[in-house]
Amino acid sequence: MGGLGILSYKTVAPQAYAAASEAADATLAPILTLESLPTSTQLITQHQSCQEISAGNREALLGSLTPEQAKAVVEASSKLGRVWLTTIPFQPSLRLTDFEVAAALQLRTLTGESEAHCTSCGEANFFGHPEVCLQRKLWRVARHEGATRIIGQALASTPGTRVRLEPLGHQTSRRNHIQVITLLGSQATGLANAEYDLTVVSLASKDARATSLPDQDGNPSRLANKYLDSVADHKIRHRPTSNLPFHPIVLSLGGMMNGSTTKVFASGKRVMTRGTYNLMLKRLSLCLLQARVRSFEL
């Protein structure tokens, strides 16, 4: 959720007590009573009752936020949006600076920047503005190159696979390609020859904010998905001339991915070892976060 999504102990304690006594009753009843009691209905665990409260809190929270903040909550609860929180910095590439952690927590708690007006361009500093402010250096190239390299390296670890990266700003095209060629055939590696194109977009961008759903549907997760889908469709329409199957990878700066990108990750998960796949997710999560807070002012 927006912050760390942890329920207060005051809320959890009664649920835990109720679940514990219910479980104890069910266990003790056959021992203590001579006649067996009628078989009770299914027990409600602490996890279940807390989950209901969390879902209710989430709905109430989303209803009270601006569209930008609501999308940020959805992003923060996505896999890539939250993995950095549980990543143990056991190697330099997994470390965050104090500034990065502070800025990330400020975003997660929906605080945003402290100034009401942007100190760079003077416009109203709405939540997410720092990601799209035209007067700030946006590090677009850095965030794309970093993420492309991380995915490329993980794919290259599959035996019998050759991966070629084409960074942004390449002479012939301004694209971010990962070309995967399997040398042993797709049956042996589980990975088919393919070309991937990576795009990282901000959900605070003008196009994203202009995206709407029919019937005044304001569901932030569907809104974000629709925008990311439209970016992926655009990539497919402007795909390079190549005879390899083409798959766009579209991520939001906060870590959301659209349906087709989720499928690309699922196929990657099948061919990589668990360690490689998890490390890739951690590095991607950190890479996006670092790119996101680079233009942020505390």
Contact 270, 190 (CB under 8 A): yes
- Residue of 112, 108, 1, 15 whose CA lies nearest to 60: 1
**Comparison of 25 and 115: residue with beta carbon closer to Zn ion:** 115
Q: Which listed range, 41-49, 120-128, 144-152, 227-235, lies at the site for Zn ion (CB under 5 A)?
A: 120-128
Instruction: Quickly tell me which residue has 């965050």 as its tokens.
Output: 96
Give the one residue of 121, 141, 213, 298 binding Zn ion; rule: CB under 5 A.
121
C-alpha–C-alpha distance, residues 64 and 87, integer Å: 31
What is the residue whose two structure tokens read 């700030």?
Answer: 136
CB 160 within 8 A of CB 189: yes
Distance CA 43, CA 66 (A): 38
**Least separation, in Å, of the C-beta of 204 and Zn ion?**
11
- Interface residue with Zn ion among 57, 120, 260, 278 (CB under 5 A) is 120
Helix (H, G, I), strand (E, B) or coil at 162: strand
Q: What are phi and psi of 125, to 5 degrees?
A: -90, 70
Give min distance, CB of 233 to Zn ion, in A: 29
Determine the Cα–Cα distance for residues 1 and 53; give it in Å rounded to an integer. 13
Q: How far is the CB of 250 from Zn ion (least distance, A)?
A: 25
205 binds Zn ion (CB under 5 A): no
What letter would DSSP give residue 172?
S
Asked whether position 115 contacts Zn ion by CB under 5 A, the answer is no
Q: Which stretch binds Zn ion (CB under 5 A): 76-84, 127-135, 159-167, 188-196?
A: 127-135
Token output for 35: 């006649």
Residues 141-170 close enough to bind Zn ion by CB under 5 A: none
| x/- letters, 71..110, toward Zn ion (CB under 5 A) | ----------------------------------------
CA gap 182, 166 in Å, rounded: 17
Nearer to Zn ion, 120 or 278 (CB): 120
- From 8-16, 59-67, 133-141, 175-183, give the range in contact with Zn ion by CB under 5 A: 133-141
Smaller CB distance to Zn ion: residue 48 or 135? 135
Task: Give Cβ neighbours of residue 235 (< 8 Å, ≥ 6 apart).
Answer: 197, 199, 248, 250
Q: CB-wise, 36 or 114, nearer to Zn ion?
A: 114
Q: How far is the CB of 133 from Zn ion (least distance, A)?
A: 3
Using rule CB under 5 A, residue 118 touches Zn ion: yes
Applying CB under 5 A, the residues found at the interface with Zn ion are 118, 120-121, 133
